[in-house]
Chain A
Amino acid sequence: MSTVDPALLHAFVDGELDLKSQLEMEQRLAGDPALRQRVEEIRLLRHEIREHAGYHAAPETLRTRVAALRSAAGDAPPSAAPSGVPTPTAASKAGRTIAWGRWLQWRPLAVGLGAAAVVALALQLAGPPPSRDEAIAAEVVASHVRSTLGQHLVDVASSDHHTVKPWYAGRLDYSPPVYDLTSTGFPLLGGRLDVIDGRKVAVLVYRRNQHKLALSLWPAPVYTTPGRPGSTRTMPIS
């Protein structure tokens, strides 16, 4: 077997080689079964680690401490030295400001996020001018982040769209489309109400593997989308 820098072999498996080195490596692999075997081993190991290594999500106690930082930021100049442990006063103060609770298990998966970003972008292109869009997007994101900090992920927790859809009747001046997407790998977790851009909107929360997606739905104002009444805009996050 020819000698190959192991670092290059790993970079090859990670898809991190530039095109020229990538092609060279492929050529070497084609003529070297032992090298191919090593590449397979690296792939397997990589898979095992990604599949099984423990991911440590931030615990509840840390979130309580983050909440304490907020009141600390309000009380002291921002350059104040960090205190090792929040005082009970600070913690209880923060407790009044926001009820912090469980956060989503956000295990970042670049592929999933990338896809979500592309969808969001594509849908945004069809929407009103960017400045207002950005403001609305910021509102949606902020609302989503807040919902994941507190325990207010959904108002109605149900995986049945026949339960969720009627729940909105009488709470909204429109009826949001609620679909059962379980068969495509997006089980419904429930729905909640939110206020975006000055109006009440329906937020449906779906799950995709370990990720949760919030889908905010409201009818587009007629004047911004001539000829396309009743379109909805979506904003997948996390």
Chain B
Amino acid sequence: MSDEESWRRFEAVALPHLDAAYNLARWLTRNDHDAEDVVQESLVRAMRYLGGFRGEGARPWLLQIVRNTCWTWLKANRPAENVGLDDGDGPAHDIAAPAADEPPQVAMRRADRALIDQAIAALPAAFREVLVLRELEDLSYAEIARIAEIPIGTVMSRLARARAQLRSALAPAAARPVLRPVPKVAQNGGPP
């Protein structure tokens, strides 16, 4: 295959999912610049593996490469995160006061967004990736299992624990009627 042909194939297979690739890398590295580095390296790898791509499920295929590149990168650059324990004792949810001319609806949405983003970012990376793949990429448990190279049972339990942690992080501050406050202790339950 000529360079031009392989680039065209790459363009058609991988590039439509560039946003998904960046979104995953950004949530895992939690940093714009690092996410770009990781995605670029992932794309170089994807080009190399393109011959092995069977033509189905381009997004999970690319995300698996991005995910592996992310973890290699995290191991090299943020070894502390590999134990998966983000203590969550960082700065409390400090949300910018809404500008006066903002309609209450918009202000509320912004507050929600900041809170939720903060809570997701505080999850251990192994939980965070499962949650992002499920809620932001809307992938099935089977696809997530393939991407993260874990059994479906582990996808289920990690997702359940990720959501439980989010729930405890969000409940007290947001004062939602349905989400009851949970004792702070529950937040410190890290992954096995």
Contact = CB atoms under 8 A, between A and B. Distances in A.
B35 A56 contact: yes
Interface string B79-120: 000000000000000000000000000000100110011001
A45 B170 contact: yes
A105 B140 contact: no
A14 B179 CA distance: 19
28 contacts: A10-B163, A11-B156, A14-B159, A16-B141, A41-B178, A44-B179, A45-B166, A48-B112, A49-B131, A52-B109, A52-B112, A52-B113, A56-B19, A62-B22, A62-B36, A69-B43, A69-B44, A73-B10, A82-B41, A86-B40, A105-B19, A106-B16, A106-B19, A108-B19, A108-B137, A142-B12, A145-B12, A238-B16
A48 to B, nearest CB: 7
Chain A contact residues (Cβ within 8 angstroms of B): what range? 35 or more
B156 A52 contact: no
B135 interface: yes
A43 B30 CA distance: 26
B188 interface: no
A42 B163 contact: yes
Interface in A28-80: 40-42, 44-46, 48-59, 61-63, 65-66, 69-70, 73-74, 78-79
A81 B47 CA distance: 12
Interface in B39-64: 39-41, 43-45, 47-48, 59
Contact of A59 (B3, B32, B44): B32
Closest 9 CB pairs of A and B: A82-B44, A56-B26, A58-B22, A7-B156, A7-B160, A10-B160, A52-B112, A6-B160, A58-B18
Nearest to B115: A52
- Give the interface centre of B27, B44, B109, B167 by most chain A CB atoms within 10 Å: B44
Interface of A: 6-11, 14, 16, 40-42, 44-46, 48-59, 61-63, 65-66, 69-70, 73-74, 78-79, 82, 84-86, 103, 105-110, 138, 141-142, 145, 149, 238
Given A65-B40, A82-B40, A55 B32 contact: no
- Give the interface centre of A50, A54, A107, A141 by most chain B CB atoms within 10 Å: A54
